[in-house]
Structure 1
Amino acid sequence: MTPRPNNQAYNANENTLALESFLPYRLARAAEMVSRQFAANYRQRYGLSRPEWRTLATIGQYEQVTATEICAHSSMHKTKVSRAIRALEQRNWINREPDTQDRRIEHISLTREGSRHYRDLVRLARDYEVQLLQTLGSSGAGKLEDGLTAVESRLSGW
């Protein structure tokens, strides 16, 4: 049996939809609010844009990546990634090394300074995540994690 949405998005008039109650919209809106609020933290401290933060986080997580890998991991368009890479390079936070086999490919890694700032941003991110999880409580956090995992698993096959 398919569960029927238990919200106000569906009403007696089948030709209308209460967007603010529609689950995909609520997920997108919640993600945007969380992202915007966290962005205020790293923007205030470092002046980073969202693409710069996501690019830095991907490089820091994997230590050495290509721009194509950053695009795939972060779900950002190559233009945004390219601009973020240039901005991080201007800050001296990353190194770019050409591939020995294919000169079109560059391997990107953090500089010593970039690593120092990345570690600080990791602490900032973890602190922010703890605050969010405390808002949900342990039961709510577990349910959210399970629900997101189910949605991501289901949609990754589409």
Structure 2
Amino acid sequence: MGRSDAARRGETAGRPAAQAAAELVLQQYFPYRLARLAEQVSLAVAEVYSERFSLTRQEWRVLAILGARQEIATKEIGPLTTLDKMQVSRAVQGLETRGIASRKPHPDDRRELIVSLTSAGRTLYRKIVPYALEREAALLAVLTEEEAEVLDRVMRKMSAALT
């Protein structure tokens, strides 16, 4: 009697072969591949803000958030940037030291700070944005328009499923 396709592939009881054998090939593991791609993209974009403008990754993320707002409470920055509290604090402090951002006490909670860009920070933000958008376009240029749309849709779908 012939073996089924599932048996030939090593699947048992409806489980994929990888689960049945309890093996994991890291280079084929989706979370690893995605993390690696994210790091590659991040490093490619870092050339824009790091080399040209001497900003750290964390400072760039905070600058990007501040550029889209007049001001924001420091506790709101973390969830918007995937930075932890300490990273946000260091980034804001670095931006403030360079005259790019300023902090003031929150009017309703003296323990909280409100951060905003200075005029120099706004100028810097306006300088960086075209380079950042150019880099994004170059990264996406390897995809067709349809592939870029599918990628966007898949990213949104997965993000929604994980929240």
* Equivalences for residues 49-64 of structure 1 within 5 A: 49-64=56-71
1:107 CA displacement: 1.2
The answer to whether residue 155 in structure 2 is matched with residue 152 in structure 1 is no
Q: Identity percentage over the alignment?
A: 36
Give the letter aligned to residue 61 of structure 1. A
The answer to whether residue 77 in structure 2 is matched with residue 70 in structure 1 is yes
Q: Among 79, 91, 102, which residue is 2:98 paired with?
A: 91
Structure 2 residue matching 1:107: 3-state secondary structure: strand
* Structure 2 CA distance for partners of 1:81 and 1:102, relative to 1, 3 Å: same
Structure 2 residue matching 1:62: 3-state secondary structure: coil
1:13 CA displacement: 6.8
Are the aligned partners of 1:55 and 1:84 in contact in 2 as well (CA < 8 Å)?
Answer: yes
Give the letter aligned to residue 113 of structure 2. E
String of CA shifts for 1:12-61, please: whole Å, max 9, x gaps.
97221111111111111101110011112211011111111111111112
**What corresponds to 1:108 in structure 2?**
115
Structure 2 residue matching 1:46: 3-state secondary structure: coil
TM-score in terms of structure 2 length:
0.85
**What corresponds to 2:140 in structure 1?**
133
RMSD: 1.7
String of CA shifts for 1:62-91, please: whole Å, max 9, x gaps.
221011011121111111110111110011
* Structure 2 CA distance for partners of 1:14 and 1:131, relative to 1, 3 Å: same
**Which stretch of structure 1 is more off in the superposition, 144-153 or 9-18?**
9-18
Are the aligned partners of 1:89 and 1:95 in contact in 2 as well (CA < 8 Å)?
Answer: yes
Give the letter aligned to residue 128 of structure 1. R
Structure 1 residue matching 2:142: 3-state secondary structure: helix
TM-score in terms of structure 1 length:
0.87
Give the letter aligned to residue 79 of structure 1. M
**What corresponds to 1:44 in structure 2?**
51
